[in-house]
Structures are given as C-alpha cells and as structure tokens.
Amino acid sequence: MSHDLHLLVGTTKGLFIVHGGTDRNGWDVTGPLCDGWPINHVAGCARTGHLWAAGGGDFHGAGVWHSQDRGQTWALTRLTRGAMDQWAANDPDFAAMVGWDDRPLPFGDDFAQIWSLSFAHGRLYAGTKPAGLVASADMGATWEKIPGLTDHPSAKDWQGGAAGLVLHSIVHHPEDAQKIWVGISAAGVFATEDGGKTWDRRNRLSNAESCGHHDHPAAPRDGETGHCVHNMMRAPGHADLLYQQNHHGVWRSPDGGRSWDDITAGLPSTFGFPIRVHPRDGATIWTIPLNGDMAGRFPPDGAAAVWRSRDGGQTWA
C-alpha cells in the first residue's frame, strides 16, 4: 500500500504515526515511539522530513524528541528536570536502567512540559507549561528563552485554565519571520512584530457591547474577549486574518488580533477546543462544539459533529 499520508498522533503513552494512502482505505500504525513519553504536540517539515515530538510531565521533565528520517529513529533533548532525576540521583541501579547522568539541563526546573511546537523560517519554537516560549536555531539541539513574552507587564496577573497556565498555540506569518502570535490559557492572545523582543496583548473586542449579555466567568468582559483561548490559527493570504476557539465562543480578527468579532452565532454551543482553517481558503473553517465546561464537555446530545463555515463564520452548517 502506498503511504502518501502520515498522521502524527501524540498520546500520554508516546507518539504513534498512522500511515495510509490518499484513498483512505486501510492504515498502518507505527508506535509507540519516543520511549513512551507523554507527547502533547508533534510538528514536522515536509521539505526535509524532520519531525519533532514534545511533551513530558512531572516525572520526566520537559523535552523535545527529534527525528531526521521521517520517524524511523528518534533522539531526545531534555530541557528540564523531573521526579526521575531525583530518583536517579539517589538510586544508582535506577540511574543505570534509564541511562541517566547528572549533566545540567538548560532550563533547570523552570517548566514541566512542552505543550506546543512550531517550525517556521528555520527556527523551532516551543510553548511551555507554565506559559513561556523557547526557541531553537539548530533544529532542536540547543534552546534559548524568549524573555520578552514572560517579561510582559501583565505576566504577574496571568491565570491558568483547567489544564494549568499553558502556551498552546504558536502562529507565524508565512513571509515575515518577525511576526508571531501565541495563545495562552488563560492569559489570551499576544503578538510580536520584532521577532519576540516585545509583545502586545491583543484581546480587544471590535464591539464592546458583545460583553453585555454574558455572565460566565470566562465570557468576554471589560471590552475584551475571554482570556481562556483554547486554539488559534492564521488564515492563508497576506492579510493577518486570525481565528480562535475560546473557552467562550468562536472569534475572528481581520487585523492580526487588534480587534475580535464574535462569530459563534449558529453553533450549538460557545464551548470547544479546536479551530481549523482551510490551507488555501481563509473563509473556510471547522470547529467541534462541546456542550459546556460544566455540562460534561462532550458533543451536544452525545453526537459527535464537525461544524463548518464557508464564509468566515457568518453562517455554520
């Protein structure tokens, strides 16, 4: 069978790669890979075949796995310590079993997990928990912090969502390497136009009256969208058209996040997690509404359904 399609699936038990043909008829599964590490996100470069898988947790610490041969072999770059380091330091047999040594890790215990990856303009970016941004200029071998984000004046007031304070979305301009957007739950959207030196917080509503009829704690208020962004994408094209699935609503920004329009009308709920944009048509988007954060977090009526808009969220089906 021809393996023209490769689905990269991160799980709490490692990475799996699902191989199939363009006819979607029959699939082969490889995995678990990455030594069974919890994998939160996988990214790749179609041109070179390089893949990266990132995650970790309280036990492993945070790390990024890298494959240079389309997933055949993998190498780990650990970024922070976890409980296993303390175990290994006190138990030589355990240290030998897991191949541990006491070399210092680049970020100590600054964060516990990698939540997101993005490769663009020759650099690999990773979003962390607690929320921060690190980058690599050598395909993931060495890393540095992007301090301008966590030095933002609002950082002291950032609050975590149900999964903690996580940077889960990293969005790039396809031509301008200086433009980056990130989504943080629950601090909102931030943007840089100077490669990460300085950041703007971009959560303002295009119409402040959108706040008036909501009483949910995560709803828009004070002239801004709710700060619990769940997912964000940029549409193709030269305009900085962004979409986000928020804890409370689906939103569209025609100006790179400087203002946001509510496009939830027509969907069965305000709650959900993913938002996807067609790679060639910026007006075609998909989302999967769930019944609410306090109502079970499953599709309405227990019937899984993907909702699509072909007109930028004006109508849904």
CA–CA dist 75, 85 (Å, integer): 19
User: In the chain, which ranges are continuous DSSP H helix?
Assistant: 83-90, 92-98, 147-150
State the burial class of residue 220 (Cβ atoms within 10 Å of its Cβ: 0-12, 13-18, 19+): buried
User: What is the reported pTM?
Assistant: 0.94
- In the chain, domain spans: 1-145, 163-316
**253 confidence band (pLDDT: 50, 70, 90):** very high
- Report, in angstroms and rounded to the nearest whole number, the Rg of the chain calculated over CA atoms: 20
Tell me if 1-145 shares its fold with 163-316: yes
Residue-wise pLDDT for 168-190, tens only, equals: 999 999 999 999 999 999 999 99
Pick the CATH number of 1-145 from 3.10.20.30, 3.40.190.10, 2.130.10.10, 3.30.70.380: 2.130.10.10
* pLDDT the model gives residue 5: 87
Query: Which 3 state secondary structure label does DSSP give 57?
Result: strand
Q: Are 271 and 251 in contact (CB under 8 A)?
A: no
Strands of the sheet with 188-192, listed across from one edge: 166-172, 180-185, 188-192, 200-201
pLDDT in tens, 78-98: 999 999 999 999 999 999 999
Cα–Cα distance between 168 and 84 in angstroms, integer?
Answer: 25
CB 59 within 8 A of CB 84: yes
pLDDT tens-digit series, residues 296-313: 899 998 999 999 999 999
Q: How far apart are CA 166 and CA 184, in angstroms?
A: 6
In the chain, % of residues over pLDDT 90 = 84
Q: Which CATH class is domain 163-316?
A: mainly beta
